[in-house]
Amino acid sequence: MKAAYYTGNKTFAIESVQPVAPGEGEVQVSVAYCGICGTDLHVFHGVMDARVGTHRVIGHEMSGKIAAIGQKVHGLEIGDPVVIRPLAACGACPACQRGHTHICQNLKFLGLDTDGAFQQAWTVPAHTIHKIPADLSIEHAALIEPVAVACHDVRRARLIAGEDALVIGGGPIGMLIAMVAGHVGAKVTVSEVNAHRLGLAQSLGFATLNPKEVNVAEKIYAQTADKGADVIFEVSGTQAGVDTMTEAAATRCRIVMVAIHGTKPTVDLFKFFWREIELFGARVYEAEDYEEAIKLVASGAIDCNSIITDVRPLEKITDAFQALSGNALAMKSLIKCS
Ligand SMILES: [Zn+2]
Ligand SMILES: [Zn+2]
């Protein structure tokens, strides 16, 4: 079978390798599609070489079918369509013992810390498998992982119908958060600087604001009879976004920190005090977020076609990564692995 190895310096090498036979408690999945995540792009640009090395199959936003089953695996059959929740917790650390296995203190992320899904057959622990409905498009199913991120973010926010939600940053994750929040019944506004992304948000039925043209907080206050946003998702990873999140907040606003801030932004803690704001971290997902994401994708609540920009075969993986780099017109690129 073919596997795409990241070999450092913005390159992948397609290698012919023997598939790994599933051991006890493992299954082998024939990978159908695998999406390119922002994290994968960081790997491609060499930022994460210290963590992933330079001979690693990356990729984790995948869909596929069970191809082989190891010993002591129950409830799965060859041919079952599945997605994988790519987290391996240690089970022993304080976080795991408190039930927070998705943020295990020794968490291994499959496809970064181990080989991942940009290959034709991927062998994984059986506990990472979620079965999906047979009639769900296997191409759309590759979006379940990022949709599960959005479901986790929305669940952390305790968002309910009728609330005013502001999503700061309209990239793939921001757009999926907006869709999940809209499905919950919130009134969603997306703040984004890129015209193409603003157009997409509008076509999906969301209100939009461009911070290059308007004062987002002022507009949010105007839209909400001077109340402010009940829930804010910071997905931009910018200082401007962090400024807006406190400026646009209603009293007791719940802010969810989705973006990975590489630097330490300045946060207006006076506003936190004054408006009794709450701030939540939200990282990856738990099993129930996956089950919710599967439901949302299967029901059509997530407009997958509007998010999938292009699909390329495994052999063209380097082209796909190059095309995505610094390209604000693209949302989600998929690789067809087999
Ligand atoms: Zn991802
Ligand atoms: Zn642990």
- Report yes or no: 291 and 130 within 8 Å, Cβ to Cβ: yes
Average pLDDT score over residue span 225-239: 98
pLDDT at 1: 97
The domain segmentation of the chain, as residue ranges, is: 2-131+303-336, 151-281
pLDDT at 265: 97
Residue in 39, 123, 244, 246 annotated catalytic? 39
The upper half-sphere exposure of residue 42, i.e. CA atoms within 13 Å in the direction of its Cβ, equals 12
pLDDT at 328: 83
Tens digits of residue pLDDT in 163-192: 999 999 999 999 999 999 999 999 999 999
The answer, yes or no, to whether residue 206 has pLDDT greater than 90, is: yes
Task: Report how far residue 284's alpha carbon sits from residue 85's, in angstroms, rounded to the nearest whole number.
Answer: 10
CATH 3.40.50.720 matches 151-281: yes
pLDDT at 183: 98
- In angstroms and rounded to an integer, the radius of gyration of the C-alpha atoms of the chain is 20
Active site residue 42: yes
pLDDT at 326: 86
pLDDT at 6: 98
Average pLDDT score over residue span 288-316: 97
The answer, yes or no, to whether residue 329 has pLDDT greater than 90, is: no
Query: Any idea which ligand is nearest the CA of 149?
Result: 1
Task: Report how far residue 152's alpha carbon sits from residue 147's, in angstroms, rounded to the nearest whole number.
Answer: 9
The answer, yes or no, to whether residue 42 has pLDDT greater than 90, is: yes
The answer, yes or no, to whether residue 46 has pLDDT greater than 90, is: yes
- Report yes or no: 211 and 232 within 8 Å, Cβ to Cβ: no
Superfamily of domain 2-131+303-336: Medium-chain alcohol dehydrogenases, catalytic domain (3.90.180.10)
Residue in 7, 42, 130, 318 annotated catalytic? 42
How many C-beta atoms lie closer than 10 Å to residue 11's C-beta?
13
Q: Is 150 helix (H, G, I), strand (E, B) or coil?
A: helix
Q: What is the 66 CA–ligand 2 centroid distance (Å)? A: 27
Tens digits of residue pLDDT in 100-141: 999 999 999 999 999 999 999 999 999 999 999 999 999 999
